[in-house]
Chain A
Amino acid sequence: QVQLVESGGGVVQPGRSLRLSCAASGFTFSIYAIHWVRQAPGKGLEWVAVISSDGGHAHYADSVKGRFTMSRDNSKNTVDLQMNSLRAEDTAVYYCGRLGYCSGGSCHYYGMDVWGQGTTVTVSS
């Protein structure tokens, strides 16, 4: 079935790095943009980053720009989020999700219709 599965979360000290992964299955991964969205404990959803279907473009929220980097490997159906210089305020559940695809020269946006189950990142000394 169509699914996304995140991994790589854990407890890390402030200033250190962590790499999250998102593995896709059940759909044509290479035509979809993939997003990361996070949710701090007891808080709302915060959009973090997106990478284009071919991996050529990425955009980041101001709160993570310069510290987080997305990459993807369409041969393995995976997306990674490299998180450097982590701060306490990066503590959250991190979800990957798909929103929009481009095919045949046109793009289609249907909202974030597939989400992973989330992986927890805790930044603490």
Chain B
Amino acid sequence: EIVVTQSPGTLSLSPGERATLSCRASQSVSNNRLAWYQQKPGQAPRLLIYGASSRATGVPDRFSGSGSGTDFTLTISRLEPEDSAVYYCQQYGYLYSFGQGTKLEIK
């Protein structure tokens, strides 16, 4: 089983700032099959990034993903109030597992 760990647990930033969210896997993720999701209260998750760095359809270019192997990053430049949400990473290189989430608060 690949264990996925996200950090930090909570991030509090102001509009216009940059957010950097980290995701670390216990083993190398095959073919960089790593996705990022955004979830707002009462809603299903929304795919943001797949394949570690490819943006899903309709996702603003403020969202970008990077990394390979075991270390991955989601960067949100120029934060907007609607970016307040919980963000999850998921590896789908060997079976499937989610990180525990990072809560992003916009001040």
A interface, CB within 8 angstroms of B: 35, 37, 44-47, 50, 59, 62, 95, 99-100, 109-113, 115-118
A residues in contact with B46, CB < 8 Å = 115
In the complex, A117 Cα to B39 Cα: how many Å? 12
A residues in contact with B47, CB < 8 Å = 110-113
Flag if A44 contacts B98 (CB, 8 Å).
yes
B residues in contact with A59, CB < 8 Å = 95
A residues in contact with B56, CB < 8 Å = 110-111, 113
Size category, B interface: 20 to 34
Say yes or no: A44-B88 contact (C-beta < 8 A), given A110-B50, A113-B47.
yes
A residues in contact with B97, CB < 8 Å = 47
By CB atoms of chain B within 10 A, which of A44, A45, A118 has the most?
A45
Say yes or no: A111-B44 contact (C-beta < 8 A), given A44-B100, A46-B98, A50-B96.
no
- B49 part of interface (Cβ distance < 8 Å): yes
Flag if A110 contacts B51 (CB, 8 Å).
yes
Flag if B44 contacts A117 (CB, 8 Å).
yes
Flag if B100 contacts A111 (CB, 8 Å).
no
Say yes or no: A44-B101 contact (C-beta < 8 A), given A109-B33, A111-B92.
yes
B residues in contact with A50, CB < 8 Å = 96
By CB atoms of chain A within 10 A, which of B96, B98, B100 has the most?
B96
- B37 part of interface (Cβ distance < 8 Å): yes
The 3 A-B pairs at the shortest CB distance, nearest first, are namely A111-B50, A111-B35, A115-B44
